[in-house]
C-alpha cells in the first residue's frame, strides 16, 4: 500500500497538477516556490496521528484523529491535569477510498462541556501520546490567526513556525489546505505537518478549489477527502453542508462560506446565510467576520473576477448585516481594501482582506494591476500570516506579518472599529431588519 501511495503521489505531481506561469516580477524581487515537505508517519498503526481540534458548538470541542489500525476505538479521554482524565467521550468514525488509495480510520469525537480559557490534556483512542489544548476565552480580548492557501512546502513550515512563536486563540483558514490535488498521501502528510499547532488550538477551515478533487471517470464525488477529514460544526450551526457554517467565540460571530457550492438566491447556502446573519445580536456579539476562498475584491491579475458572481449574489446580505471584515484566499498575495460596497468606498461596508499567502507550492501571484485602485490600501506579493486581535466590543487590531524566511516581520497594521458601534450605519429611524 505504501508503494502504491508513493506511485500515486509521483504520478499526480508529474501529470495532474496544473502548470503555473509566473507573471513579471515587480520592482522588488520575490523568493521562488520551495519544495514540498512530505511528513511520514513515525508512530505505530494503533497510535493516533494527524490530530486536530475544532470548535463544535457552545462549550464543546471536536477532536479528529486517524489510525491505521481499524480496531482502535473512537474515544477521547481528557482532563485538566497531565495523565489524569476525568472525562471520556465516544464519537464516530469514517474512511474513504480514492483510486488506489484507502484512508485510515478517521475518528471524530466531540468532547465537553469545557471551561473557557482552560488547558486540557487528552489522549486519543486509548493509546499513544498525550496532547493538550487551550479553549478560547468567552470574553474579550480574543485573537485569531488567519492564513489561506497553506500547502506544505518549506515556506509553509516557516510560516507555521512563526505563527507558533506567538500565542493565539483560534486559527482560521479560508481554503486550500493540503494542495493534495487528488494525491491522497499528501492529505496524510499535511495532517502530520500541522498537528503540532492544530492539536493545541482549534482550526476552523473552509474549502478552496484545491479541495474539490473531481477526477473524470475515476472520482465524481467532490470534496470527498476534505469532508471526511475536516469535519466542521455545520450541524451545530444549522447548516446542511460541511462547506459552510458559523460559530461564536467571545463576542465574535464568524461565518465560513463556500465559494464552490451553490450560492445564488434560491440556494441552500444563501438561505442559510440569510437566516444565520438575522439571528446575530450585535449587542452581545458586536463583531461579525466572514471567510471565503475566492475574493470578491482583488486588484491582482491572478484569478481576476473569479469571485464576482458570488459577490453579486451575496454582497447585499453582508452589507445589510453590517459585516465588519471579509477574509479570502485564492490569490497568492496579501491585499487590504477600504470599507467597500458594490465596488465603491462605503463606511458601512466590510473591510476586504486577501490573505492567500501561507506558503503553497504554486508560488506567489506577482502581478498587481496598475495604477493601483483607490479602494486598495495595501498590497504585496509575499508569504506571511495575519492576526486579528479583538480588544473589546468596539476596537480590534489587524496586523499582517511578512514571512521573511527565519523571521516574521510586521508589514501592515490597522485599527478597526466595529460597525455595531456606528450610529450612522444603524439609523435610529429604521430598524436593523430593514437595512
Annotated active-site residue in 107, 108, 234, 303:
303
Q: What is the rounded (10 degree) CA torsion for 85, 91, 97, 100?
A: 20
Sign of CA dihedral 195, 294, 99, 360: negative
Distance CA(270)–CA(241), nearest Å, equals 12
Residue 121, Cβ density class (10 Å: 0-12 exposed, 13-18 middle, ≥19 buried):
middle
**Cβ atoms of residues 344 and 352 within 8 Å:** no
Tell me phi and psi for residue 191, to 5 degrees: -60, -40
Tell me phi and psi for residue 12, to 5 degrees: -65, -45
Distance CA(319)–CA(340), nearest Å, equals 9
In whole angstroms, how far apart are CA 59 and each of 114, 136, 281? Answer: 5, 10, 19
- Measuring CA to CA, which residue among 24, 118, 125 is closest to residue 364? 24
Distance CA(400)–CA(390), nearest Å, equals 15
Q: Does residue 303 have an active-site annotation?
A: yes
Residues involved in catalysis: 303
Amino acid at each position: 500500500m505504501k508503494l502504491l501511495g508513493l506511485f500515486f503521489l509521483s504520478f499526480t505531481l508529474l501529470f495532474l497538477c496544473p502548470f503555473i506561469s509566473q507573471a513579471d516580477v515587480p520592482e522588488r524581487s520575490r523568493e521562488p516556490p520551495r519544495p514540498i515537505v512530505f511528513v511520514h508517519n513515525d508512530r505505530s498503526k494503533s497510535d493516533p496521528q494527524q490530530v486536530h481540534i475544532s470548535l463544535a458548538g457552545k462549550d464543546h470541542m471536536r477532536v479528529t484523529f486517524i489510525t491505521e489500525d481499524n480496531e482502535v476505538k473512537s474515544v477521547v479521554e481528557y482532563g485538566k491535569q497531565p495523565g489524569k482524565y476525568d472525562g471520556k467521550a465516544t464519537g464516530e468514525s469514517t474512511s474513504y477510498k480514492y483510486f488506489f488509495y484507502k484512508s485510515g480510520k478517521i475518528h471524530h469525537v466531540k468532547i465537553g462541556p469545557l471551561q473557557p480559557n482552560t488547558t486540557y490534556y487528552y489522549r486519543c483512542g486509548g493509546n499513544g501520546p498525550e496532547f493538550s489544548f487551550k479553549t478560547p476565552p468567552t470574553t474579550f480580548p480574543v485573537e485569531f490567526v488567519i492564513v489561506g492557501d497553506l500547502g506544505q512546502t518549506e515556506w509553509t513550515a516557516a510560516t507555521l513556525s512563526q505563527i507558533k512563536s506567538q500565542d493565539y486563540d483560534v486559527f482560521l483558514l479560508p481554503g486550500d489546505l493540503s494542495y493534495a490535488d487528488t494525491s491522497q498521501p499528501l492529505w496524510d502528510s499535511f495532517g502530520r505537518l500541522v498537528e503540532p499547532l492544530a492539536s493545541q488550538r482549534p482550526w476552523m477551515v473552509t474549502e478552496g478549489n484545491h479541495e474539490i478533487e473531481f477526477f473524470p471517470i475515476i472520482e465524481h464525488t467532490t470534496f470527498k477527502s476534505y469532508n471526511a477529514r475536516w469535519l466542521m460544526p455545520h450541524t451545530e450551526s444549522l447548516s446542511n453542508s460541511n462547506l459552510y457554517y458559523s460559530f461564536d467565540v467571545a463576542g465574535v460571530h464568524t461565518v465560513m462560506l463556500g465559494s464552490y457550492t451553490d450560492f445564488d438566491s434560491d440556494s441552500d447556502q444563501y438561505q442559510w446565510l440569510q437566516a444565520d446573519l438575522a439571528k446575530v445580536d450585535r449587542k452581545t456579539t458586536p463583531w461579525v467576520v466572514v471567510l471565503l476562498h475566492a475574493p470578491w475584491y482583488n486588484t491582482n491579475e491572478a484569478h481576476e473576477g473569479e469571485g464576482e458572481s458570488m459577490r453579486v449574489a451575496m454582497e447585499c446580505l453582508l452589507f445589510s448585516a453590517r459585516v465588519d471584515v471579509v477574509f479570502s484566499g485564492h490569490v497568492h498575495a496579501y491585499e487590504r481594501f477600504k470599507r467597500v460596497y458594490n465596488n465603491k468606498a462605503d463606511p458601512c461596508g466590510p473591510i476586504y482582506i486577501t490573505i492567500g499567502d501561507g506558503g503553497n507550492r504554486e508560488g506567489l501571484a506577482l502581478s498587481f494591476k496598475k495604477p493601483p485602485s483607490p479602494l486598495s490600501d495595501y498590497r504585496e506579493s509575499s508569504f506571511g500570516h495575519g492576526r486579528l486581535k479583538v480588544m473589546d466590543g468596539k476596537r480590534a487590531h489587524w496586523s499582517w506579518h511578512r514571512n521573511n524566511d527565519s523571521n516574521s516581520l510586521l508589514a501592515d497594521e490597522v485599527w478597526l472599529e466595529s460597525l455595531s458601534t456606528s450610529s450612522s450605519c444603524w439609523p435610529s429611524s429604521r430598524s436593523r431588519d430593514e437595512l
